């Protein structure tokens, strides 16, 4: 499966390569990342490899999506290792531009999706974060000309905003969301996990556990949003975790679902809902979520979450 993972560094190289591939009738699968690749990125690449004739990976730590107080300078950069991993996942091209190449001065454009979607959840705590994300992804999509683009559902708000942007602007790429890849003990993989101390990492396991309990309760019975929040929050509290937010939202619009809403779980009338968490373990900000839904992709994700997070619980 070894790919050549040829590294391209300029906009022009990427654009010309894309035109050449499209002219040859190739289908391009695209996985945008900030590098420091782990098995979560690996899963996006695996799907892209399965579904396209050419796979393009981008690695760009995008300054526009970091706030002034955030970890831009500390963000892990492991390009050589990433290129090796890209090869082993059958990647054909790695687009790894510099900041000046991506944003030649003066760079005067910013892409914004309405604040109903971007100033809530993570956007409430990360100023202009999603404008930065939308700007870089639109630019990358224009350069890569992807037929299909792959994003992780771990960053559920990000995926939902980007999908809306692509729909509104009639972008021709198909947007594909991939279930969160987790460690054996359930923690959602993230490039930032390497900053966790041993005790923070074990404390953080309460996050997927809380989400798994919530999933389990929903699977059993009709429950209110309030009941599910209380269940998950008490699990988090038990572990000494304070949520920055823990919210229930509609999965397409991201609008609030009220605490009194009853979430039904029958094949014919199931309610869909996102429960999203963010919080700090020491200095490290982690996010995770679960989607209550009968759609196969969310069923798979929920069952995997249960298997990893609650199996040990039941044993002990
Ligand atoms: P990042 O490099 O963190 O910007 O992530 C690049 C892409 O990988 C995004 O679409 C993320 O949602 C996705 N991703 C990150 N972590 C995971 C994970 N644990 N499982 C699945 N996808 C992930």
User: Which residues are known catalytic residues?
Assistant: 41
Shortest CA distance to 310 belongs to which of 213, 203, 219? Answer: 213
Residue 314 has a pLDDT of 53
Whole-model pTM above 0.75? yes
3-state helix, strand, coil in the chain (%, to 5): 45, 20, 35
Q: What is the pLDDT of residues 169-224, one digit of tens each?
A: 999 999 999 999 999 999 999 999 999 999 999 999 999 999 999 999 999 988 99
Which residues are bridge partners to 59 per DSSP?
Answer: 33
Compute, in angstroms, the gap from residue 162 CA to the centroid of ligand 1: 14
- How crowded is residue 120: how many other Cβ atoms within 10 Å of its Cβ? 18
**What tokens appear for 26 in the block?**
């190739």
Compute, in angstroms, the gap from residue 258 CA to the centroid of ligand 1: 29
Query: Helix or strand or coil: residue 182?
Result: strand
For residues 79 and 120, what is the distance between their CA atoms, to the nearest angstrom?
A: 33
List the helix and strand counts (H, then E) for the chain. Answer: 12, 11
For residues 145 and 166, what is the distance between their CA atoms, to the nearest angstrom?
A: 13
Residues 2, 90: contact at Cβ < 8 Å?
yes
Query: Helix or strand or coil: residue 59?
Result: strand
**What tokens appear for 134 in the block?**
């939308």
Q: Which residues line ligand 1 (CB under 6 A)?
A: 33-34, 40-41, 43-44, 151-152, 154-155, 178, 180-181, 188-191
Q: What is the pLDDT of residues 238-284, one digit of tens each?
A: 999 999 999 999 999 999 999 999 998 876 667 899 999 999 999 99
Atom 14 (ligand 1): residue with closest C-alpha?
152
* 76 pLDDT more than 60: yes
Q: What is the pLDDT of residues 141-157, one digit of tens each?
A: 999 999 999 999 999 99
Compute, in angstroms, the gap from residue 76 CA to the centroid of ligand 1: 14
């Amino acid at each position: 499966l070894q790919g050549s993972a040829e590294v391209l560094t300029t906009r022009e190289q990427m654009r010309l390569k894309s035109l050449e591939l499209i002219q040859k009738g190739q289908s391009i699968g695209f996985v945008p990342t900030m590098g420091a690749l782990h098995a979560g990125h690996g899963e996006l690449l695996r799907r892209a490899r399965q579904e396209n004739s050419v796979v393009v990976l981008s690695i760009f730590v995008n300054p526009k999506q970091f706030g002034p107080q955030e970890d831009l300078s500390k963000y892990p950069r492991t390009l050589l290792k990433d290129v090796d991993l890209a090869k082993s996942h059958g990647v054909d091209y790695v687009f790894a531009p510099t900041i000046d190449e991506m944003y030649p001065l003066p760079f005067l454009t910013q892409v914004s999706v309405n604040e109903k979607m971007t100033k809530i959840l993570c956007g409430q705590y990360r100023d202009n974060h999603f404008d930065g994300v939308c700007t870089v992804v639109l630019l990358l999509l224009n350069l890569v000309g992807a037929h299909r683009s792959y994003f992780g559902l771990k960053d559920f708000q990000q995926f939902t905003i980007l999908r809306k942007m692509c729909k509104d602007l009639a972008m021709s790429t198909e947007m594909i969301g991939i279930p969160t890849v987790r460690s054996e003990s359930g923690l959602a993989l993230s490039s930032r996990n390497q900053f966790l101390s041993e005790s923070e990492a074990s404390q953080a396991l309460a996050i997927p556990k809380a989400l798994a309990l919530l999933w389990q309760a929903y699977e059993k019975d009709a429950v209110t949003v309030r009941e599910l929040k209380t269940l998950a929050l008490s699990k988090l509290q038990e572990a000494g975790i304070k949520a920055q937010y823990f919210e229930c939202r509609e999965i397409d619009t991201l609008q609030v679902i009220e605490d009194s809403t009853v979430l039904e779980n029958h094949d014919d009338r199931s309610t869909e809902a996102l429960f999203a968490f963010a919080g700090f373990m020491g200095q490290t900000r982690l996010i995770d979520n679960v989607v209550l839904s009968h759609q196969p992709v969310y069923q798979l994700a929920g069952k995997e979450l249960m298997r990893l997070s609650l199996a040990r619980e039941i044993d002990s």
